[in-house]
């Protein structure tokens, strides 16, 4: 942060987890989903496990179990070991697949006997856009004129799509690992989480109806298409063109069906109308080619 503040302490759950779990129990909370910090558990991204981090997560899980609270874990929620960003660009490199799978293997091995469900990546779709297009999230990459601030490095027209493919392949690799090595003993399930808002056409004009479907295809289909059918929606392939990295036949086979569940974080709904496809330099939002306006109710 500009003022040098950090989130090192924040709500201080590291020290107050027992009080937190007690409050959860008193309020009647039945399940609890929390994110593991890859950086806390494996500070160098790969290799040696931090014993203090391991102890903390074991203590937290045990405390939840002791209070009858079902444990749901997310493996990745924005937090990536800085060393992996420095070494090969993090999610922009296919090398992330091997490292993410090895990290997940540690989590399954150490915690899986007490975990009901695993979410590999939280809000994978908005995560890659806000990290590599708008630069709202780390590592804050973008290119003019798309970032919320002026970025020193990045390419908004292609990097979100590269990162998304690598993230999907990392998810599929982790799912395969769990199914082959752990699921028959631990009886857990593995899925992924997507960011969601619902879309309604602003008018009944054909272009607005098509824009509404296009909005859904770009928002959900970008991730659900590969996970369910093994490929992206046709409208994405058409609008993004060669900037959309394709799946090989082997990759498509690995990713298709690689989920036990889909998690949905739903926030609001929007009215959508058509915006002509930008023929200049484009990013994800320009490729989608819609105008949207948020609403707080379902239109009558």
Residues classed as catalytic: 123
- Sheet harboring 261-274: ordered strands across? 31-35, 70-76, 117-121, 189-201, 261-274, 290-295
Q: Where are the beta strands (DSSP E) in the chain?
A: 31-35, 70-76, 117-121, 189-201, 261-274, 290-295
Q: How far apart are CA 144 and CA 155, in angstroms?
A: 8
- Dmax over Cα atoms in the chain, in whole Å? 60
Whether the upstream peptide bond of residue 145 has omega within 30° of 0, thus cis, is yes
Angle between helix 95-111 and 51-66 (nearest 10): 50
Closest C-alpha to 124, from 161, 94, 69, 73: 161
Q: What is 227-240 written as a DSSP string?
A: IIISS--HHHHHHH
Q: CB within 8 A of 237, min separation 6: which ones?
A: 231, 244
User: Which DSSP state fits 259?
Assistant: -
3-state SS, residue 128: helix
Q: Which residues pair with 265 in a beta bridge?
A: 195
Q: How far apart are CA 49 and CA 44, in angstroms?
A: 9
CA dihedral 35, 36, 37, 39 (to 10 degrees): -160
């Amino acid at each position: 942060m500009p003022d040098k503040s950090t989130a090192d302490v924040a709500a201080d759950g590291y020290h107050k987890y027992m009080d937190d779990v007690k409050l959860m129990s008193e309020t009647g909370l039945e399940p609890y989903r929390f994110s593991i910090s890859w950086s806390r558990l494996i500070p160098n991204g790969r290799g040696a496990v931090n014993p203090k981090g391991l102890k903390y997560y074991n203590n937290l899980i045990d405390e939840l179990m002791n209070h009858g609270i079902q444990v749901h874990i997310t493996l990745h929620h924005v937090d990536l070991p800085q060393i992996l960003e420095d070494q090969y660009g993090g999610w922009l490199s296919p090398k992330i697949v091997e490292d993410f799978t090895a990290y997940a293997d540690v989590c399954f091995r150490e915690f899986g006997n007490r975990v009901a469900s695993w979410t590999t990546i939280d809000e994978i779709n908005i995560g890659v856009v806000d990290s590599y297009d708008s630069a709202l999230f780390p590592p804050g990459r973008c290119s003019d004129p798309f970032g919320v601030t002026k970025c020193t490095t990045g390419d908004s027209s292609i990097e979100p799509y590269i990162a998304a493919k690598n993230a999907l392949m990392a998810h599929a690799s982790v799912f395969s690992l769990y199914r082959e090595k752990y699921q028959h003993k631990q009886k857990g399930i593995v899925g992924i989480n997507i960011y969601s808002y619902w879309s309604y056409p602003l008018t009944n004009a054909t272009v607005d109806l098509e824009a509404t479907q296009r909005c859904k295809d770009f928002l959900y289909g970008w991730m659900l298409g590969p996970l369910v059918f093994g490929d992206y929606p046709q409208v994405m392939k058409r609008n993004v063109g060669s900037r959309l990295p394709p799946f090989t036949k082997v990759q498509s086979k690995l990713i298709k069906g690689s989920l036990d569940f889909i998690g949905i974080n739903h926030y609001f709904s929007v009215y959508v109308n058509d915006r002509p496809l930008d023929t200049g330099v484009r990013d994800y939002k320009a490729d989608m080619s819609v105008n949207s306006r948020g609403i707080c109710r379902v239109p009558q």
